[in-house]
Amino acid sequence: MKKLRTLAALLTMLTLTSCGGGKGSSTPASNPSSVSSTSPASTTSIKPTSTQSPTSSAPTTSSPTTSGTSSTSSTTSTTPTPVVGPKIAAKLMSGAVEATEANLVEGAGALTLQLSVEDLPEDVTAEQVTWTLPTRSNARLNLLPRDENSKANELQFTANMPGTEVIHVEAKVGEETIALDYELKITRNDAQYKTISTADELKELLAQTTVTDKYMLAADIDLGGAEIKAATAAFNGVLDGNGHKISNFTIVGYEASGAAGGLFQFVHGLIRRVEIEGNLNVAAGFAGLVAKEVGEKGIIEDCVLKATNMTECDEWTWKRNGVVVACVSGTIQNVVALITNDKETDSNAKYSQTLDVAAYLFSSKGIINNVYVNRNESSLQKPFSPDGGGHTVVFENFHAGLGDFSTSLAADFDLDPTLWTLEDGKAPVLVKESVSVDPAPDPTPSETPTETPVEG
């Protein structure tokens, strides 16, 4: 009888808390091949770094590491081997002219990546080359629809949010497949942003049902112990922390069952360059510091997340939380994720409730890349499919078991040094960027008429 009650409870939890859209989701369906997004070292050139390699693999740019062990290590640089044989050349265009730095600002308009193959074999013509281009947009890069007039070797898109994208393309030349990772850095347009510098201003943002605007932090924000119940169903905008910190709050469940929580419910936009430190007090699971779910187009990158777990878990499958989010269908990358006070499995069948990054998969579209965590528990590193759906996640460069980071070396961290402070024996720290607070509106013009000069 006890088994029957447990099964009924599990089915109830599946109905109430499964991710993958829900009432708050506003992300349309998209094709599975993605434009991969990363944040490597920045460049001032308008011709981004390109990496050439023969390949037959899916569009990922780095190799996965073994779960359960720290994969950070020092490496000796070597001179790259010149590409021999056919290689992909790329040119970024704005209309009929080559793009300039002015075109690489978010919201600047449509761009076209023109591709060609140099040094073709004598028995292969340009028309015989088969191209494989990305088909999945994300919050930062919106791929424009293709039609009968689209050229096979051109990719058209708009860059709507700041940061670095790596566009992975492949070309089949005869029997050989070659690849190019084209790095594209999009500059932030500060004129499009509203600034947040007080707790009240941040609470006002968190109270919105849907967020489409762009925001940046101008100061560290202490929320004064507030309980956050994720009023924002869909975060579709940008929150750029400028390296600042949001702290002193507790995430509680917003669903009737007590499950699900975060600063937001669903993230379909971009959250970057922010440190978030708070408590997770959601015994029913499906919560994270940032959100219940990062959706298919959502990006969480270059962030520090510090979660204090407040509850124990008595059901392994359906009551889990994640430090960052509960469910991942989008991209989480370049993140330091720390968990404290988590309850380990004990004789009373209580389980560690909070996983290192995310808990659940309800699709195979998630990406977790370049993450640094303090724990070294292999069962708590990778999100899983609680419904038995067999979903997978791109899971690469996961660095576990770093503890207090006292034995880490700055060279161990593959993080952008313009965004992070990296020191031996210390955890990476975000660089703070000073910004001006939104100016006060112009005063109402005086109603006093201008005096007419006296003639005489």
What secondary structure does DSSP assign to 212-261, as a single string?
Answer: -SEEEESS-EEEEEEEE----SEE-SEEE-TT-EEEEEEE---STTS--B
pLDDT above 50 for 58? no
Yes or no: is domain 46-72+86-186 CATH 1.10.3470? Answer: no
Q: Tens of pLDDT along 188-229?
A: 999 999 999 999 999 999 999 999 999 999 999 999 999 999
Half-sphere exposure of 4 (CA within 13 A, CB side): 1
Cα dist from 186 to 101, 163, 182, 288, whole Å: 9, 5, 13, 28
Q: Can you tell me the distance from the alpha carbon of 111 to that of 158, in angstroms, rounded to the nearest whole number?
A: 6
pLDDT band at 455 (very low <50, low <70, confident <90, very high): very low
Give the bridge partners for 228, in sequence order. 251
Question: 91 CB contacts (<8 Å, ≥6 apart)?
Answer: 98, 113, 114
Q: Return d(Cα 232, Cα 267) in angstroms, integer.
A: 9
Whether this model's pTM surpasses 0.85? no
pLDDT of the residue at 139? 98
Which residues make Cβ contacts (< 8 Å) with residue 69, sequence separation at least 6?
A: 376, 400, 401
Q: For strands 367-373 and 270-272, give the pairing.
A: unpaired
Q: How high is the pLDDT of residue 343? A: 60
| Cβ–Cβ under 8 Å, residues 398 and 368 | yes
Rounded to whole angstroms, the Cα distance separating 305 from 297 reads: 20
Distance, CA of 64 to CA of 57 (rounded, Å): 13
Element (H, E) at 17: helix 2-17
Domain ranges of the chain: 19-28+190-430, 46-72+86-186
Over the stretch 130-189, which tens digit does the pLDDT of each residue have? 999 999 999 999 999 999 999 999 999 999 999 999 999 999 999 999 999 999 999 999
End-to-end CA distance of the chain: 107
Pairing of strands 210-211, 234-235: parallel
Contacts of 377 (CB under 8 A, 6+ apart): 68, 352, 356, 400
d(CA 20, CA 294): 9
Distance from C-alpha of 223 to C-alpha of 247, rounded to nearest angstrom: 6
- Measured in residues, the chain has a length of 456
Q: Which residues pair with 158 in a beta bridge?
A: 110, 142
At 11 the three-state DSSP class reads helix
- 12 token code pair: 């109830």
Q: Measure the CA–CA gap between 52 and 171, rounded to whole angstroms.
A: 11
What is the structure's pLDDT at 317?
Answer: 84
Which residues have a Cβ under 8 Å from the Cβ of 389 and sit 6 or more positions away?
Answer: 361, 362
**126 exposed, middle or buried (CB, 10 Å; 0-12, 13-18, 19+)?**
exposed
Which is nearest to 239 in space by CA: 256, 258, 222, 264? 264
Strands 50-54, 176-186: pairing is: antiparallel
pLDDT band for position 353 (50/70/90)? confident
What confidence tier does 257 reach under pLDDT thresholds 50, 70, 90? very high
* Max intra-chain CA distance, the chain: 107
| Band of residue 29 on the pLDDT scale cut at 50, 70, 90 | very low
pLDDT tens, position by position, 405-452: 999 999 999 999 999 999 999 999 999 998 876 544 444 444 434 444
d(CA 184, CA 177): 23
Which distant-in-sequence residues (6+ apart) come within 8 Å of 172 by Cβ? Answer: 129, 130, 131, 132
